[in-house]
């Protein structure tokens, strides 16, 4: 079976019409994973036994007349999302052997929808990074050029979808970690509104910013997957009560005529923007105009402060969330320790990698007595200004548009010694998390032979408009049909 | 904002992180650079601006007070580095003083 270009929507049709079975599909993806993994390393754990059993059950349920939304559809899940009975490491030595005793709510919803779990995908340690090079188990490689990064921290999920090792995957986005790797790997990635998808069972990094989102080949696939995982969850007190529309059905009514697109001037004029990325984004804007949309220049004057705000708030929350890894109840424990304090410090010193330690230290400092007002509280106030910039923009426009990443995929190792250079990879995405808004990245061209992503940002809770706008563009272009040749794999 | 080695050691102690000598030096220079970068926030006058803890208006919703089964003890202890007789084992916390 040729699975290279299969989408979720097509897989559903093939299954519905009896042209394939869940077991046949699952075997095809497992075989492709076996062939490509030595070159791509998108997975930390492949679960053939779990997948084959789920596929067998899905075929049985279908034979009995059942048709759940993802019945028999194979997927991959980022390894920061808890899966009962399946090792979940967060890309960290700290959780190298951890097997969660419960499912995250999204996983529970995928199980009920009939999905088949191919495995857990690679991630920067505790989702901290922009290249998936911070994984304690080795970097994932970009399927378009294996000497380059796939982006991060959901780089494993993005690479798995780009290489067709899975037709879709779940990622998490704290400062751009779904959208930026989607852009660098040439796939679709959505960060939903904060609170749209339950975070219960997502191993926390920065709780006021984290959100789970889909990575897929098409906008329609993202709409389908979002419909399954979205919705209120009593186990997550920050989960919203808003009703979940049928996102996939809404795409048939998609139209951009009369829509106003806000073009962020300071993003397109940014000195760090790669010329090829600028060209691809400008061509995409012209396409929108030809489809009947109106382009409106807007300004987000405080977006230039997004990076320092993010790198104070996210580490502050991380320093608190990661305090739970003390070597007592679960996770790595150092051998030969003198007393309980020594056990805490040595277990954490040995279990965490450099980026995680750096952020814990930064957060501890920003929250410490004497520096709280100067750093943490100041950042929270500027966060208000960033949020207000978006509120003002949405008075004038329906959607905000710009590049997803300032550059196409960079070389492995190119930025690892300079944290600030690495942090700049998320410069256009992280303000969206600070403001809690939904954002999507869709393929919009190539620069130096590497994929470029276009970012669309919407009003809170209005994923429908975002998906509709993205879908119309996708239908008018064929970037999403390009697949990496994998000749150098 | 240049941090001293002593400040790095103090932060590491607060964060309960045992660091090697090389790590202390690396973090001293990297954290100093990041904090200097963050200094640009001081350009903005935010005296009249309230802080944002959550960007979206989500209220802490109380769920129904329904008794549910909790995690069985065996499952809760399954990932413990050291456990015995239903307890987690840690180094001595309280010591007897003569």
Task: Output DSSP code: residue A295.
Answer: E
Average pLDDT value over all residues in chain A? 96
Quickly tell me which residue has 């990094």 as its tokens.
Answer: A205
Alpha-carbon distance of A28 to A305, in angstroms, equals 47
| Residue at A159 is within a domain | yes
- Of the candidates A191, A250, A226, A243, the one whose C-alpha atom is nearest the C-alpha of residue A70 is A226
On whether residue A273 sits in a domain, the answer given is: no
Rounded Cα distance between A370 and A26, Å, is: 56
Residue A253 DSSP symbol? G
Q: Do B50 and A308 touch (CB under 8 A)?
A: no
**Which residues are A171's β-sheet partners?**
A213
Decide if A184 is inside a domain: yes
**Model confidence at A341: pLDDT above 90:** yes
Listed in sequence order, the residues at least 6 apart from B77 whose beta carbon sits closer than 8 Å to its beta carbon are B83, B86, B88
In whole numbers, what is the pLDDT of chain B averaged over residues? 91
> How far is residue B77's CA from residue B81's CA, in Å, rounded to a whole number?
9
Distance from CA of A366 to the nearest CA of B (A): 9
* pLDDT tens digits along A382-426: 999 999 999 999 999 999 999 999 999 999 999 988 888 888 889
Answer yes or no: do B53 and A380 touch at CB < 8 A.
yes
- Tell me whether residue A382 is in a domain: no
Give catalytic residue positions of A. Answer: 78, 153, 177
Inside any domain, residue A363: no
Domain of A178 in residue numbering reads as 8-255
- A489: pLDDT strictly greater than 60: no
Distances (CA, A) of A30 to A26, A82, A366, B60: 6, 21, 45, 42
Residue A283 domain flag: no
What is the residue extent of each domain of chain B? Answer: 1-42
A437 vs B contacts (CB less than 8 Å): 55
Query: Which range has the worst mean pLDDT, A110-119, A395-404, B68-77?
Result: B68-77
Confidence of residue A279 (pLDDT cuts 50, 70, 90): very high
Distance between first and last Cα of chain B: 48
Side-chain-side CA neighbours of A255 within 13 Å: the count stands at 3
Closest-CA residue to A191 (of A404, A413, A475):
A404
- Residue A346's closest CA among A364, A367, A330, A332? A332
B9 CB-contact burial (10 Å; exposed 0-12 / middle 13-18 / buried 19+): middle
Nearest to B58 among A195, A309, A319 (CB): A195
Q: Say whether A337 sits in a helix, a strand or coil.
A: coil
- Is A355 a member of any domain? no
Q: B36-59 pLDDT, tens per residue? A: 999 999 999 999 999 998 888 766
Give the ipTM. 0.94
Total domains, chain A: 1
Tell me the fold of B1-42: Histone, subunit A (1.10.20)
Radius of gyration of the CA atoms of chain A, in A: 21
Q: Is residue A180 part of a domain?
A: yes
Could you give the CA distance from residue A89 to residue A98 in angstroms, rounded to a whole number? Answer: 6
Backbone phi and psi for residue A297, each to the nearest 5 degrees, phi listed first: -70, 130
CATH code of residue A193: 3.90.1300.10
Decide if pLDDT at B60 tops 70: no
| Residue B16 tokens, joined | 């309960």
Output the CA–CA distances (angstroms, integers) from residue A228 to A54, A109, A207, A225, A252, in the order listed.
Answer: 18, 7, 22, 5, 18
Task: Check CB contact under 8 Å for B17 and A354.
Answer: no
């Amino acid at each position: 079976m040729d699975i290279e270009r299969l989408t979720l929507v097509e897989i559903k049709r093939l299954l519905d019409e009896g042209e394939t079975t869940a077991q046949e599909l699952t075997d095809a993806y497992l075989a492709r994973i076996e062939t490509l993994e030595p070159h791509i390393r998108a997975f930390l754990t492949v679960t053939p036994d779990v997948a084959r059993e789920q596929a067998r059950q899905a075929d049985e349920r279908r034979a009995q007349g059942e048709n759940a939304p993802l019945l028999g559809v194979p997927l991959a899940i980022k390894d920061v999302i808890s899966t009962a009975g399946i090792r979940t490491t967060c890309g960290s030595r700290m959780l190298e052997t951890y097997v969660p005793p419960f499912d995250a709510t999204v996983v529970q919803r995928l199980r009920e929808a009939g999905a088949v779990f191919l495995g857990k995908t690679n991630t920067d340690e505790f989702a901290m990074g922009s290249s998936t090079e911070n994984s304690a188990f080795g970097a994932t490689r970009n399927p378009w050029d294996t000497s380059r990064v796939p982006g991060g921290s959901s780089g494993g999920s993005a690479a798995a979808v780009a290489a067709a090792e899975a037709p879709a995957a779940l990622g998490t986005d704290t400062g751009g970690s779904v959208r930026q790797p989607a852009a660098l790997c040439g796939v679709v990635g959505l960060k939903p509104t904060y609170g749209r998808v339950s975070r219960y069972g997502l191993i926390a990094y920065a709780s006021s910013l984290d959100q789970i989102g889909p990575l897929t080949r098409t906008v329609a696939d993202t709409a389908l997957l979002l419909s399954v995982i979205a919705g209120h969850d009593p186990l997550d007190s920050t989960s919203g009560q808003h009703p979940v529309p049928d996102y996939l059905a809404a795409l048939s009514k998609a139209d951009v005529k009369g829509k106003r697109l806000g073009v962020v001037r300071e993003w397109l004029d940014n000195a760090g923007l790669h010329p090829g990325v600028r060209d691809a984004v400008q061509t995409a804007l012209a396409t929108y105009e030809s489809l009947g949309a109106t382009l409106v220049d807007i300004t987000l004057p405080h977006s230039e402060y997004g990076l320092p705000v993010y790198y104070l708030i996210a580490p502050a929350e991380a320093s608190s969330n990661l305090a739970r890894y003390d070597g007592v109840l679960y996770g790595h424990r150092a051998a030969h320790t003198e007393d309980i304090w020594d056990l805490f410090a040595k277990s954490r010193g040995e279990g965490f990698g450099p980026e995680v330690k750096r952020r814990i230290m930064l957060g501890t400092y920003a929250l410490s007595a004497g520096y709280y007002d100067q750093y943490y509280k100041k950042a929270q106030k500027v966060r208000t200004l960033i949020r207000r910039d978006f509120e003002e923009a949405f008075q004038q426009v329906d959607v905000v548009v710009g590049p997803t990443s300032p550059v196409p995929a960079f070389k492995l190792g190119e930025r690892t010694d300079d944290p600030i250079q690495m942090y700049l990879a998320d410069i256009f995405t992280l303000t969206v998390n600070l403001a809690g808004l939904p954002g999507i990245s869709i393929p919009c061209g190539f620069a130096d032979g590497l994929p470029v992503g276009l970012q669309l940002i919407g009003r809170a809770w209005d994923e429908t408009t975002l998906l509709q706008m993205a879908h119309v563009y996708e239908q008018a272009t064929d970037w999403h049909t390009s697949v990496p040749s994998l000749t150098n794999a | 904002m240049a941090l001293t080695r002593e400040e790095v050691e103090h932060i590491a102690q607060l964060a309960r992180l045992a660091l090697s000598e090389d790590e202390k030096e690396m973090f001293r220079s990297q954290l100093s650079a990041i904090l200097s970068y963050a200094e640009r926030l001081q350009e903005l006058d935010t005296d009249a601006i309230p802080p944002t803890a959550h960007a979206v208006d989500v209220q802490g919703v109380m769920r129904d007070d329904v008794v549910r089964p909790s995690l069985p003890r065996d499952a809760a202890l399954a990932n413990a580095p050291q456990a015995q007789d239903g307890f987690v084992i840690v180094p001595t916390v309280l010591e007897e003083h003569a």
